[in-house]
Amino acid sequence: MRNNRRPRNFNEESETKKLIYISIAVVILAILTFAITYIVYSNALNKNTGDITQKITEMGTQNSNTLSEASSPIGKNVNEMQEENEKIAINTTNIQTQSQESNAIVETKTPELEKKQEPKKEEIKDPTFIKPVEGEIVKEYASENLVYSETLKEWIIHNGIDIKADKTTIVKASSEGTIKSIKNDPRYGITIVIEHTNGYVSIYSNLLTAEFVKEGEKVTQGKTIGTVGNTAVFEIADEPHLHFEILKDNKYLNPSEYIK
């Protein structure tokens, strides 16, 4: 009876120990698994966190560099703009100063230049007149005091002088000038008009002929321009003579005061 119980107890103890060992092994395995899992997870977490932190740091650095680069050019541009503005202000002042100096020089020199550039105007002298035909003055100039006309049988004004001369007597240009016109005036007959300098004009009427000159021709003082006739209707009753007038700017003058 005793022999049968001992083996049974021994077997039970062996089974119990096996179970304990197995349990311990399972626990240890579980602990190792947990520990390994924890370590792996921690490493992965730390790695991710490190990567994230590094990325954040890199992003911060990049942003900082970008801001620094951005601010640097801006600061540089502002400084350059300030320097350029100062230069522009200085240049503007210099330009204004130079402009004022130039204007002063121009104002100072302009009168001198004008004096030098202005050509000297030659003074044009009034023409001198000679008696166009030799003879006695038989009727004087009368613009205020009337003279009696034998032809018209009345007192009239007389804007020239009548110089007595035979028919075909040579009539000369009283002064040099240009033949303005040759016409047959209804009152004073064949008439030659000569233009002179400074607005002077001389008129020769009661001519017999005017074939010695033509309109536009320049004549010298004393040149033959026609002959004495008797073609003036208003003076047909008078003896042969030259009717002679002088005007200045279309105003009649007394020829006796001008002829020499």
Q: What is the pLDDT of residue 35?
A: 78
Q: What average pLDDT score do residues 37-65 get?
A: 61
| Overall average pLDDT of the 69-76 stretch | 44
Most confident listed range (94-98, 225-229, 256-260): 225-229
Domain boundaries, the chain: 1-121, 137-257
Q: How confident is the model at residue 25 (pLDDT cuts 50, 70, 90)?
A: confident
With cut-offs at 50, 70 and 90, classify the pLDDT of residue 10.
Answer: low
Amino acid found at 71: S
Q: Name residue, tokens 């503005």.
A: 85
∠41-47-52 over CA atoms, to 5°?
A: 125
Residue 122: predicted pLDDT = 78
Question: Model-level pTM?
Answer: 0.55
Pair 184, 231: CB distance under 8 Å: yes
**Torsion 48-52-55-61 (CA) sign:** negative
The whole-angstrom separation of Cα 17 and Cα 25 is: 12
Q: Report the chain's mean pLDDT, rounded to a whole number.
A: 79
Tell me the CA distances in angstroms from 189 to 153, 199, 212, one per residue in order.
Answer: 19, 24, 17
Which H or E element spans position 178? strand 177-185
pLDDT at 53: 57
CATH code of domain 137-257: 2.70.70.10
Structure tokens, 243: 């009717």
